[in-house]
Structure 1
Amino acid sequence: MRSVYAAMRRLFHAVLLGLVGAGIVHIVVLLLVPVFSERDAWSRLSMASDLYRMNRLDAEAGGAPVVKSVDPLFYASACRFDLEEGVVRIRAPGNVPFWSVSVYDRSGHNIYSFNDHTANGGKLDAVVLTPAQMIDVRKDLPEDLQGAIFVEAPIDEGIFVIRSFVPDDSWKPIVSRFLDQSSCELQDF
């Protein structure tokens, strides 16, 4: 009788150990999926176009969206940049009901966000640069950057995303034009 209990205890111990090990492996695999994924936002945008080119992220631009949007009331556009090549300036003409901007690092972590309420006159004019580049720009700030929003980002490569609210169908062409005319340019100061 004693050997039956000992055998059952060893079996229970082995099953429990196997379940704990499987749980640990499962968690590690889930955490490593983004690291090994080839279909992240950076990869999808790099297949769509080169650095410093705005790409519509919504299906309204025609074709399949580059990155799926979670909110159908927002249209979006994005551009990839490399701050090792220089400072990046993003502008968009016109007025829309609401716009917001996010700067992400290459891995998709949000570095900085702002919206039209923090911009000078509601106009989108932003400059993304590293802290070292910011020191150089402050020494002799060009006059055309006086109203721009400066985003100091401690990254080399990143993604700049513009989202704009579309309250109803009458705003679709205006918001589309706002995003289509937006620019992402490498600046040399």
Structure 2
Amino acid sequence: MRSLRAALRRLLHAILLGLVGAGIVHIVVLLLVPEFSERDAWSRLSMASDLYRMNRLDAEAGGAPVVKSVDPLFYATACRFDLEEGMVRIKAPGDVPFWSVSVYDRSGHNIYSFNDHTAAGGKLDAVVLTPAQMIDVRKDLPEDLQGAIFVEAPIDEGIFVIRSFVPDESWKPIVSRFLDQSSCELQDF
């Protein structure tokens, strides 16, 4: 009988100790949420530069990368934009083995992706705009936008990311030039 009571006490003590420990861990996690939420991609890019400015994301650009890249065979650049100010046009000159593009909302959710196989002639020329802006552009499409890829995004603020494949050392300067010469510009049409 005594051993049963002792075992029940130890079990109750372990359960109470586990609940107190879980409560402490829960409080610590809640207190750390603001610390981690301020380090998202949008915040890091905003500390690096203004809207409509391309920022290299790979370490090859010099210094620590703004956002860590998952694949060392890809170089990347990104720009933040605000569609409330108008449409944004992204262009990059030159030819590289492969490029891909992603449009993210401010929270980091992927809205749209495409690559060089989608683009006319493999050239990067894209316009990101809201559905309302798309209606206005369709009324009178400017001639210089005839070959552009239109990305209708139901967002206000977002991030445009260009990634390019670097197959070997000889391609590093070409891919770097491609990304460094890319542009992200506010458009008024």
Normalising by the smaller structure, the TM-score range is: 0.7 to 0.9
Q: Distance in 1 between matches of 2:19 and 2:116?
A: 51
SS at match of 2:175: helix
User: What does residue 101 of structure 1 align with?
Assistant: 101
Change (3 A) 1:30 1:99: farther
Cα drift, residue 24 of structure 1: 11
SS at match of 2:13: helix
- Give the number of aligned pairs: 189
TM-score (norm 2): 0.88
Change (3 A) 1:141 1:34: farther
- Deviations, residues 86-113 of structure 1 (Å, cap 9, x unaligned): 0000000000000000001111111110
Q: Distance in 1 between matches of 2:38 and 2:187?
A: 30
Change (3 A) 1:114 1:68: same
Change (3 A) 1:23 1:164: farther
Cα drift, residue 23 of structure 1: 8.0
Q: Percent identity?
A: 94
Q: Distance in 1 between matches of 2:34 and 2:133?
A: 30
- Deviations, residues 5-33 of structure 1 (Å, cap 9, x unaligned): 59927953981795499289749948984
Q: Which runs of 4+ in 1 moved over 6 A?
A: none
Structure 2: tracts of 5 or more residues without a match: none
Change (3 A) 1:33 1:111: farther
Change (3 A) 1:136 1:43: same
User: Do the aligned residues in 2 keep the contact of 1:34 with 1:40 (CA within 8 Å)?
Assistant: no
- Deviations, residues 21-62 of structure 1 (Å, cap 9, x unaligned): 928974994898489521111111111110000011111111
Cα drift, residue 78 of structure 1: 0.2
Cα RMSD, aligned residues only? 3.0
Q: Distance in 2 between matches of 1:169 and 1:23?
A: 52
Change (3 A) 1:51 1:27: same
Cα drift, residue 64 of structure 1: 1.0
User: What does residue 147 of structure 1 align with?
Assistant: 147
Structure 1: tracts of 5 or more residues without a match: none
